[in-house]
Amino acid sequence: MPTPWGPTLPRGADLDIEILREMYRAGAVSIFGIDPRLNASRIGRRLGMSRARVASRLRAWAETGFLPRYDVWPNPFLFGLTGVTFDLRLGDRLGKEELFERIGLLPGAAAGLEFLGEWISATFLVGADDDPAALRRILGGFAGVAEVGGPIPWAPPPAGRPLSPLELRIVRVLRQYPAETLSSVARHVGVSTRTITTRYGQLLDRQAVWFLPVFDFRALAEPVVSLNVRFRGPTDRESFGRAMRRSFPRSLEIDRAPFGPVVPENVGVYYLLGRSAARLEDLEGWVRSSPGVLEHEALTMVRIRSFSPTLDRLLRTAPGGPVAPGRRAAPAGAREPRGHPAGRSRTIK
């Protein structure tokens, strides 16, 4: 993890954006993360560049701490859970570390997003009987919290089939070893590499497992800006998006997926790799002068937080039983014992 004087990723934001567009399945930032099947060779072919160049950049992402790891989530909707996101404003902008520690102890805490300044976001996984208003009151009662916005609800997807016991074992291993090869995952699960390859593809294609990159933007020499814009209507948002891509090619838009955090039709959320922190006011001036814009907010992103206990507990208590470290699971088709289901940026309301 970078320190204030730690390593910095060499400049190359144009390449970074191209790689990120390929890694995200829809070419836009989505709640279900990146497609881990896209290795350096496949990304290089799509971008018309060498595998070595892409691999070198991905290696630099890890070495400098920009992308140290992935957080693997089972799709929470398959377990009867949904998500809610809260925006919190701190009275002391230097009190974020302590606040995140306290948030991570709350039931359902799944992820957080830290911004430069006084704002953070926190996402929780909740059940049908949970009361987001009660959670908001708890957050508002924490020392140092001056304001709580939200909750921002998540829209549910179409009903999907639950994970099978074998799929649960696979997700547990992927969560524990997200960077392992499929042959290594197969050994941990106790099935053939061919079986893992097939099931792995199926899990990803039906969005039953999510690979969420845990970015640390402090490793970058250039600022990453979360830009939230409210428009008169969807037509203005679409026109603005086209103008944004032309004027700021180093940008990504939040994917308007049919499920996940609800983004109103007249709101757009964008991520930009700025060329200089000193030019951010120029960006805001451009946004303000754009046709159809009612209001906007630009925040510099610091890092993504992930809280392991909620998802670890979910997988530990799900049917199928956890695989003990170093122990091979039962082969596929074996009978299961009886008795034996995840940074989103702040959004203008």
CATH number at residue 276: 3.30.70.920
Contact 320, 165 (CB under 8 A): yes
Query: What is the model's pLDDT at position 200?
Result: 93
Query: What's the whole-number mean pLDDT along residues 91-100?
Result: 95
Instruction: Return the percentage of the chain with pLDDT > 90, whole number.
Output: 58
Contact 166, 191 (CB under 8 A): yes
Domain-located, residue 128: no
Domain-located, residue 234: yes
335 pLDDT tier (thresholds 50, 70, 90): very low
Domain with 228, as residue range(s), is 221-302
Q: For 161-199, how does the pLDDT look when each residue is reduced to its tens digit (9 = 90+)? A: 889 999 999 999 999 998 888 999 999 999 999 999 999
Contacts of 86 by beta carbon, 8 Å cutoff, 6+ apart: 121, 122, 123, 124, 135, 136, 139, 148, 149, 150, 151, 152
> Over the chain, what is the mean pLDDT?
85
Domain-located, residue 147: no
Q: Which of 11-20, 112-121, 324-333 has the lowest mean pLDDT?
A: 324-333
Query: What is the model's pLDDT at position 333?
Result: 36
Domain-located, residue 281: yes
Domain-located, residue 349: no
At 254, list the tokens: 């939040």
Q: For 242-276, how does the pLDDT look when each residue is reduced to its tens digit (9 = 90+)? A: 999 999 988 888 877 666 788 889 999 999 988 88
DSSP state of 118: S
* Number of compact structural domains in the chain: 1
Q: Is the pLDDT of residue 202 over 90?
A: yes
- Alpha-helical (H) ranges within the chain are 13-23, 40-47, 51-64, 96-104, 132-140, 165-176, 182-189, 193-205, 234-247, 280-288, 308-317
Query: What is the model's pLDDT at position 225?
Result: 94
Query: What is the model's pLDDT at position 340?
Result: 26
According to DSSP, the residues that pair with 152 across neighbouring strands are: 85
Q: Is the pLDDT of residue 209 over 60?
A: yes
6 pLDDT tier (thresholds 50, 70, 90): low
Domain-located, residue 347: no
- Looking at per-residue pLDDT, the higher value among 330 and 79 belongs to 79
Contacts of 5 by beta carbon, 8 Å cutoff, 6+ apart: none
Domain-located, residue 227: yes
7 pLDDT tier (thresholds 50, 70, 90): low
Domain-located, residue 188: no
